[in-house]
Amino acid sequence: MSDNDHGLDKGLTNYGDFDFARFLRRSFARSMGISREMLDKPIIGIAMTPSGFNNCHRYMPDLVEAVSRGVLAAGALPRPFPTVSLGEVFLNPTSMMYRNLMAMDTEEMIGAQPMDAVVLIGGCDKTVPAQLMGAASANLPAIQLVTGPMSTGRHKGQRLGACTDCRGFWAQYRAGTVNSDEIKTVEGRLSVTAGTCAVMGTASTMACIAETLGMSLPGTASIPAVHADRLVAAEETGKAAVRLIDRRLSPRDVITHKSVENALRVLLAVGGSTNAVVHLAAIAGRVGIKIPYSRFNELSDQTPVLVDLKPVGDGYMEDFHAAGGMAALLRELRPLLHLDTIDIEGRRLGDRLLEPMDWVDRSIIRPFDDPISKVGGLVALTGNLAPDGAIFKRAAATPALFESEGRAVVFTGLEDLSKRIDDPDLDVKPDDILILQNAGPHAAGMPEAGYLPIPRKLARAGVKDMLRISDARMSGTAFGSIVLHVAPEAAIGGPLAAVRSGDRIRLSIANKTIDLLVEDAEVKRRLADHRPPPTPARGYKSLYRRTVLQAPDGCDFDFLTQGETR
């Protein structure tokens, strides 16, 4: 007996007697009420992520049932299994700290349990990259299914969708133009259905990236969570997973240098989440692919923004789906895409895009020659403040701040920010630059704290935007003139740690630079006695602190990445 068999015989538990292991496994499988005939079928694992702490995954049981239905219809045996589930707003200090844990869980459970292929069901923004990272490392035939975006609510005639509108209303509340009673009412109208955020935040961006990479079925990225077609997509995903067994297509056949570049094109064209840059770097890193920031900027300068959705524009994900979704967008981007990439069905992208489109709403998905912006929504920055790079979402920023020089107002960490940002005695003016240190991966797990609030006294004076710089991340649903992912981070002695209040800083989007206007010798003097924060003594947080990489390498663990191979 070999442990290289398929179905229930795959990866037999090692007792030193494989025939006994097979007998014992089948005996316990029979205790589940599964017939001997079904036990002889191929097995499709279903990595499911329900949790009482994950609102985005509330319909997970329905999706698992629909996938199982498709698997059975195609002649295989579905076996759902749980993994870590990451609900963004319910995790402390941040869900980003646990993305790698979920990726490890996913990889190990795919490899340890008997399955011939696996369906990955996730939605809330860190779950999809975690699943794709784990699947890329396990390299078993795999297919992604997302939970889908939530539908919008209403407030006084205004459409509301988490979480861009939550930030807009909270800014008004801080400015005193919305009172406490109204903000409580809005609280119950922002997130009115199951599903991920209703805008082109990180979850929706990652869904679009998964489809562009070829890891999910065409047309499934944007189907709303509550739409009947979401369940149809789940059923078809189950059927496709069974077909994967004979096709023998693994994630490393699909996730290639070309498909990653295609995914970056889509990220830029949708004005998507800055978080996706980190997540895509981590997914690509699992198969030895690295796209340097110089190439990222080349792609950005060539790729127009074509999708008019919040937080960059006006629409919501349900509008994007109704407008034609990814099928329409990819057809507009066709001149820029690598058309010889394949998806998990083995179909070339170029062949797919030859199929006719039904209808496209041009108010949501613009033609290639009539873009919202002629350049991509994101840009990478370098300079003496970010020698290894930083990210700026120009599509969500104020153009008047693209070429800026101002005085630094420094916050040394999250506690300091919380304590002083609304202090009426804070020395800050509208043309100053807010700096947050020690919020990167080593220091704090890289939370979505880069969206520093406008100091209350300025907000009440009518200030809507300021230049803000940090080594943190920003929610994909957020907006503003914000420099993020500064690397190396302050906690490990990056130049950001040397910034002091009163220093001058210069941003140039035209030159793609961010510079601290302080002499190099002075910067070195300030950093001479710098010490990183202590490493936790035990557990996952100790592992995280000792092995996490910086943002340009996806914040993955150093022992999980693979050297560049293609």
Residues 312 and 402 in one domain: no
Q: What is the pLDDT of residue 167?
A: 87
Q: What is the pTM of this model?
A: 0.96
Is residue 11 one of the residues assigned to a domain? no
Give the pair of three-digit tokens for residue 503: 């220093």
Is residue 175 one of the residues assigned to a domain? no
Residue with tokens 């090692």: 14
In 3D space, the residue among 153, 221, 179, 170 whose CA is nearest the CA of residue 478 turns out to be 170
Residues 394 and 347 in one domain: no
Strand partners, 530: none
Residues 325 and 454 in one domain: no
46 φ, ψ (degrees, to nearest 5) = -125, 105
Residues 216 and 268 in one domain: yes
In 3D space, the residue among 100, 110, 156 whose CA is nearest the CA of residue 133 turns out to be 100
Residues 397 and 334 in one domain: no
Domain that holds residue 537: 379-553
Residues 432 and 474 in one domain: yes
Number of domains in the chain: 2
Angstrom distance (rounded) from CA 426 to CA 414: 16
SS3 breakdown of the chain: % helix, strand, coil, rounded to 5?
40, 15, 45
Q: Which amino acid is at 242?
A: V
The residue among 352, 369, 389 that closes a domain is 352
> Which residues are within 8 A (CB) of 514 and not within 5 positions of it... i.e. 6 or more apart?
381, 382, 383, 385, 386, 390, 469, 483, 486, 505, 506, 507, 508
Residues 348 and 386 in one domain: no
Is residue 266 one of the residues assigned to a domain? yes
CB 128 within 8 A of CB 210: yes
Is residue 365 one of the residues assigned to a domain? no
Residues 495 and 399 in one domain: yes
Is residue 168 one of the residues assigned to a domain? no
> Which residues are within 8 A (CB) of 174 and not within 5 positions of it... i.e. 6 or more apart?
453, 454, 456, 459, 460
In CATH, what number is assigned to the domain containing residue 345? 3.40.50.2300
Is residue 420 one of the residues assigned to a domain? yes
CB 242 within 8 A of CB 74: yes
CB < 8 Å & 24+ apart, contacts of 369-375: 371/304, 371/305, 371/306, 372/271, 372/304, 372/305, 372/306, 372/307, 372/308, 372/312, 372/313, 373/271, 373/304, 373/305, 374/304, 375/300, 375/301, 375/303, 375/304, 375/305
Q: What is the pLDDT of residue 563?
A: 59
In CATH, what number is assigned to the domain containing residue 449? 3.50.30.80
In 3D space, the residue among 494, 103, 81, 508 whose CA is nearest the CA of residue 286 turns out to be 103
CB 218 within 8 A of CB 352: yes
> Which residues are within 8 A (CB) of 461 and not within 5 positions of it... i.e. 6 or more apart?
430
Residues 480 and 385 in one domain: yes
Residues 322 and 449 in one domain: no
Is residue 493 one of the residues assigned to a domain? yes
Angstrom distance (rounded) from CA 231 to CA 212: 21
Residues 335 and 394 in one domain: no
Strand partners, 246: none
Is residue 45 one of the residues assigned to a domain? yes
Residues 254 and 137 in one domain: yes
Q: What is the pLDDT of residue 164?
A: 86
Say if residue 311 is preceded by a cis peptide, omega within 30 of 0: yes
CB 452 within 8 A of CB 468: yes
Q: What is the pLDDT of residue 426?
A: 98
Q: Between vectors from CA 556 to CA 105 and to CA 559, what angle results, nearest 5°?
A: 80
DSSP state letters, 115-147: -SEEEEEE-STTHHHHHHHHHHHH-S-EEEEE-
Helix H or strand E segment including 322: helix 317-323
Q: What is the DSSP letter of 8?
A: G
Taken in order 3, 8, 13, 19, the sign of the CA dihedral is negative
Length of the chain: 566
Q: What is the mean pLDDT for each group of 10 consecutive residues in the chain (566 residues)?
A: 73 93 95 95 98 95 98 98 96 96 98 98 96 98 98 94 88 92 93 94 97 98 98 98 95 98 98 97 97 98 97 95 98 98 97 93 97 97 98 96 98 98 97 98 96 96 97 94 98 98 98 98 97 92 97 97 60
